[in-house]
Amino acid sequence: MNIFFEKTGLSLLEGRYRIEHEIKHGKSSTSFFGIDEKTGADVFVKLSIFPRSDLEKARFKNEVKFLKDQAFFNALHKKTPEYISDGELFDGKILYLITDKIHGTLLSDWIDNNWQSATLRDRLIIAYRVFGAAEHFGMFATHRDLHVGNIILLDEEIDLYSDHPNFKTIVLDWGQSYCRPYYEYSESDSDDMVLIHNGIGKEITNSFYNLPPETFTDWENSGSQYNKYDSWAMGLLLYKLITGNNLFSFKNIGEYASSLNRIDLAIGLARVEISKVASDKTPILSCLLSRLMCKNPSDRMFIQNARLALWFILVEEFAPTDPQVISEFLDSPTHYEGVKWNHFRSEPFDYS
């Protein structure tokens, strides 16, 4: 591989970004850490070497565009890697993307190393942070591959009382993402988002553990609820953070597809497991999980509302037991009037 990089010029991109060592080989790309020899800054480099199809190429270019478009939002609160550069070599046979290197802790590593010693509050704060990082994108784009290996926690404390919360959590790897507005305003059938839209439902190239039930239905009929797609992954993550376990257990995609027929049973068993560790918060956390794991996406909770619910649980210590109260609260956490809050004054949350 080193000889190949030297011969193709990939070892030093644009005369300044030097690739140093490989960190991940994905289904359609390879990733590296490197250094900007001009500034000395650490960088992250993703390569798509000889894309196998126009769709694979479109996904790579879509990630480039998405990260470029985040520059304004990242100036407020950073939630994605910072775009630095991109390009093509050998008439598009090799594509590259360069971003800053994120220094923090992968969520998968946090779970492996810190979950056991963490309190329930600690775990819910992590969920709050991840939901907060993901909610902004759900307004117009879905990640479609959210899992613990694609989330980095910055090693900084967060302020739960801020009117403009900074979740200090970075969402990585936007190669599978889908943006409905980009598709709606596409001008040509050959536009990248059109190719991505038409490719949805025809193949599975992301982590199948996080696939929601609508993956196995007619995409054109369920596509109007595309912005609920990542809520399913957040439900799975919430359960894992609370209990330390995966909600489902299967060996292959066939077992997973079969498990979708037993969602209600799985949620029922999940509530029992949550009761073992959540104490008085069991009723509201169980219902929150159920809202995120609705089989029908039209009934599923938006990530932003789930994050708001976690804020009330954490800051207001809201832990009702009455099913009707919980249901009304989860319908619209910031508009629930059944309680006089100690800290919530008005809508203090930042959707930028």
pLDDT bracket for residue 220 (50, 70, 90)? low
CA-wise closest residue to 83 among 65, 57, 107, 95: 65
CA-wise closest residue to 31 among 15, 19, 41, 18: 19
pTM, 2 dp: 0.92
Pair 284, 326: CB distance under 8 Å: yes
Task: Provide mean pLDDT across the span 259-264.
Answer: 80
Residue 187 has pLDDT above 90, yes or no: no
Q: 52-101: per-residue pLDDT in tens?
A: 899 999 999 999 999 999 988 888 889 999 999 999 999 989 999 999 99
Q: How does the average pLDDT of the chain come out, rounded?
A: 89
CA atoms within 13 A on the CB side of 179: 20
CA-wise closest residue to 96 among 180, 156, 32: 32
Strands 12-13 and 17-25, bridge-based pairing: antiparallel
Please give the pLDDT value at position 319: 97
Task: Provide mean pLDDT across the span 180-187.
Answer: 81
Quick one: DSSP state of residue 342?
S
Q: 145-166: per-residue pLDDT in tens?
A: 999 999 999 999 999 999 889 9
Rounded CA-CA distance 98/12 in Å is 12
Strands 17-25 and 30-36, bridge-based pairing: antiparallel
Residue 186 has pLDDT above 90, yes or no: no
Please report, rounded to a whole number, the percentage of residues in the chain having pLDDT higher than 70: 93
Which residues neighbour 328 within 8 Å (Cβ) at sequence distance 6 or greater? 336, 338
Domains of the chain in start order, with CATH, are: 2-100 (3.30.200.20), 105-335 (1.10.510.10)
pLDDT bracket for residue 1 (50, 70, 90)? low
Residue that is written with structure tokens 């988002």 in the block: 193
Which of the residue ranges 33-37, 204-208, 336-340 would you say has the lowest mean pLDDT?
Answer: 204-208
CA-wise closest residue to 27 among 123, 145, 140, 125: 145
